[in-house]
């Protein structure tokens, strides 16, 4: 089938990066069951799942950096911004949160409201969708910081990134790895603010020279192996899976995320003219569906894991070397098809 619709002024690198990011999210969650089976599967199988998970740690930061690259660059007043942006995140969040809530309690309203109603609401809409309050927080402060971000100088960016790195990444990393006891609490959206602004800064404020780009690619690859090897070492030391190195704000994950954004963005920009319009359109469809896939894939994974469709698929049902890729394929394919079909009739609700 040929896709002939116009791509308009879409940025291929952003579409492809969003499509990649949502695939990585699915990989991350589909490999989780094998990761937690540290003591009960072969070392080879666990290392395979660990490497997949380590690579996939850039997924959420990628989404946030892509959002920052475009949302912080918009020329909109507060009223336009709120009217345009907030329904795009609140409606799908409410829709899929409600579906998840009903699923969790056997589609029984009585079970939902009988005991601990507010706790059930909170754990579903906020616990299960922890990413959404972060995006909401970033969107809430966007009209306040946007003009400053657009007009500020390089030295001010470097000052901000230094402060963010110290308080959102360096100190928490030292606390977790070495027991340094420096206690403070940053709101989650403030913790991720550096990624948001970094997306804008990298996209609109700097041109990266070829030699720097090569070093960035090297950093990207090395940081992934640091995450994987660090996780393996800490897990072996504890005798069970240790997820310290997987934190999205841990130093190696931060480095891999920013270096990955720069490296993959550059690669995709160079690939654009070599790819057919048909292929780029297909990528744009996955990109458009990425938010809906993000919100729905955990439900699909749970249905497959628990055998609700009459068959069971998860990362350890057979050797993870086979089961994890199969689970990734099934979860991604089913989620994408559902979102693409539903978006024809209720796009504003599902994605």
Please report whether residue 337 resides in a domain.
Answer: yes
Sort 163 into a burial class: Cβ within 10 Å, 0-12 / 13-18 / 19+: exposed
pLDDT of residue 282: 94
> Residue range 233-253: average pLDDT?
96
Helix-helix angle 251-271:193-204, to 10 degrees = 30
Buried-state track 17-37, b at ≥16 Cβ within 10 A, e below 16: bbbbbbbbbbbbbbbbbbbbb
pLDDT band at 348; cut points 50, 70, 90: confident
> Residue range 6-30: average pLDDT?
90
Count of the separate structural domains present in the chain: 1
pLDDT over 70 percentage in the chain: 97
Q: Which domain holds residue 214?
A: 12-350
Please report whether residue 4 resides in a domain.
Answer: no
Reply yes or no on whether the pLDDT at 341 is more than 70.
Answer: yes
pLDDT band at 351; cut points 50, 70, 90: confident
Reply yes or no on whether the pLDDT at 113 is more than 80.
Answer: yes
pLDDT band at 2; cut points 50, 70, 90: very low
d(CA 170, CA 172): 6
> Residue range 102-127: average pLDDT?
93
Please report whether residue 329 resides in a domain.
Answer: yes
Give the model confidence (pLDDT) of 125-172 as tens digits. 998 899 999 999 999 999 999 999 999 999 999 999 999 999 999 999
pLDDT band at 5; cut points 50, 70, 90: low
Q: Which of 2-11, 34-43, 138-147 has the lowest mean pLDDT?
A: 2-11
pLDDT of residue 289: 96
pLDDT of residue 229: 98
Please report whether residue 344 resides in a domain.
Answer: yes
pLDDT of residue 269: 92
> Residue range 65-75: average pLDDT?
95
Indicate the average pLDDT of the chain.
94
> Residue range 6-13: average pLDDT?
74
Please report whether residue 1 resides in a domain.
Answer: no
Cα 53 to chain center, whole Å?
12
Please give the residue that has the higher pLDDT: either 327 or 178: 327
> Residue range 198-206: average pLDDT?
96
Polymer length of the chain: 351
Reply yes or no on whether the pLDDT at 8 is more than 60.
Answer: no
d(CA 250, CA 109): 40
> Residue range 235-259: average pLDDT?
96
Reply yes or no on whether the pLDDT at 296 is more than 50.
Answer: yes
Those residues whose C-beta lies under 8 Å from the C-beta of residue 188, and which sit 6 or more positions away, are 130, 133, 134, 137
Reply yes or no on whether the pLDDT at 16 is more than 80.
Answer: yes
What φ, ψ does residue 197 adopt, rounded to 5°?
Answer: -70, -35
pLDDT of residue 4: 42
d(CA 328, CA 293): 13
Please report whether residue 316 resides in a domain.
Answer: yes
């Amino acid at each position: 089938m040929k896709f002939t619709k116009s791509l308009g002024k879409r940025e291929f690198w952003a579409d492809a990066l969003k499509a990649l990011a949502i695939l990585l999210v699915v990989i991350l969650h589909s490999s989780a069951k094998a990761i937690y089976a540290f003591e009960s599967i072969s070392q080879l199988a666990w290392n395979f799942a660990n490497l997949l998970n380590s690579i996939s740690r850039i997924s959420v930061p990628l989404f946030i950096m892509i959002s920052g690259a475009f949302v912080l660059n918009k020329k909109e007043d507060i009223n336009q911004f709120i009217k345009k942006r907030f329904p795009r995140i609140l409606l799908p969040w409410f829709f899929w949160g409600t579906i998840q809530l009903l699923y969790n309690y056997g589609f029984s309203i009585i079970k939902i409201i009988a005991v601990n109603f507010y706790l059930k609401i909170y754990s579903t809409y906020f616990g299960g969708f922890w990413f959404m309050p972060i995006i909401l927080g970033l969107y809430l402060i966007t009209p306040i910081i946007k003009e400053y971000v657009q007009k500020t100088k390089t030295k001010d960016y470097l000052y901000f990134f230094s402060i963010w790195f110290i308080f959102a990444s360096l100190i928490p990393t030292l606390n977790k790895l070495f027991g340094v006891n420096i206690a403070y609490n940053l709101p989650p959206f403030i913790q991720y603010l550096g990624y948001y602004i970094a997306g804008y800064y990298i996209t609109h404020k700097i041109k990266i020279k070829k030699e720097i780009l090569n070093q960035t690619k090297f950093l990207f690859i090395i940081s992934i192996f640091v995450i994987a090897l660090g996780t393996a070492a800490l897990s072996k030391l504890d005798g069970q899976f240790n997820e310290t190195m997987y934190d999205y704000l841990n130093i190696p994950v931060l480095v891999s995320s920013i270096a990955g954004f720069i490296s993959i963005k550059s690669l995709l920009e160079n690939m654009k003219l070599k790819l057919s319009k048909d292929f780029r359109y297909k990528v744009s469809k996955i990109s458009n569906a990425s938010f809906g896939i993000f919100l729905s894939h955990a439900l699909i994974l749970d249905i497959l894991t628990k055998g609700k469709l009459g068959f069971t698929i998860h990362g350890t049902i057979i050797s993870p070397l086979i089961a994890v890729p199969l689970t990734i394929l099934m979860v991604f394919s089913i989620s994408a098809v559902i979102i693409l079909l539903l978006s024809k009739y209720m796009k504003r609700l599902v994605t």
